[in-house]
Amino acid sequence: MELIETINLPNGLTLTISDASRRIAKDTIKVELFFQVKIEVLDSFFESPEDCHQLRKIFGAELTYEHKMERSFVNDNEEESIRTELLNTFKNNSLGYLSSPNFAKKMALSLLRDVKLNPFKYQAAPYPERAE
């Protein structure tokens, strides 16, 4: 994966854009872009210290927003234009959302809500792996 752009958002977060495009046939490519924002889990996001602790226990001190855009079977001569199209589509549709002053807090609270509503998804395995 190759880092192609880093954008410092107005809310203090940083968006990284990486290209993971690869050849899939002699004259075709799969254009694949990854978008990622790291979010520090802050106590101030939560009503109680227990909520913060619960989220950190599962996800650690940092959350990651990730999004992937891809287009398969792109002809070699269209690769650059498709990459630019995917990049512009993401920026036009998502930069406002990611730049929101409350984005980090809303993401943390959304994950916490999911943990509370679906605790079975976040439980540790009942039997630890055996070391051989």
Question: For 9-19, how does the pLDDT look when each residue is reduced to its tens digit (9 = 90+)?
Answer: 999 999 999 99
pTM equals: 0.84
30 and 90 Cβ atoms separated by less than 8 Å: no
Look at residue 128 and tell me whether its pLDDT is greater than 80. no
State residue 122's pLDDT score. 81
Terminal-to-terminal C-alpha distance of the chain:
33
With bands split at pLDDT 50, 70 and 90, how would you rate the model's confidence at 110? very high
Looking at the chain, the whole-number percentage of residues with pLDDT higher than 90 is 83
Count how many Cα atoms sit within 13 Å of the Cα of residue 29 in the half-sphere of its side chain: 16
Look at residue 109 and tell me whether its pLDDT is greater than 60. yes
Per-residue burial over 44-67, b = 16 or more CB atoms within 10 Å of its CB, e = otherwise: ebbeeeebbebbeeebeeebebee
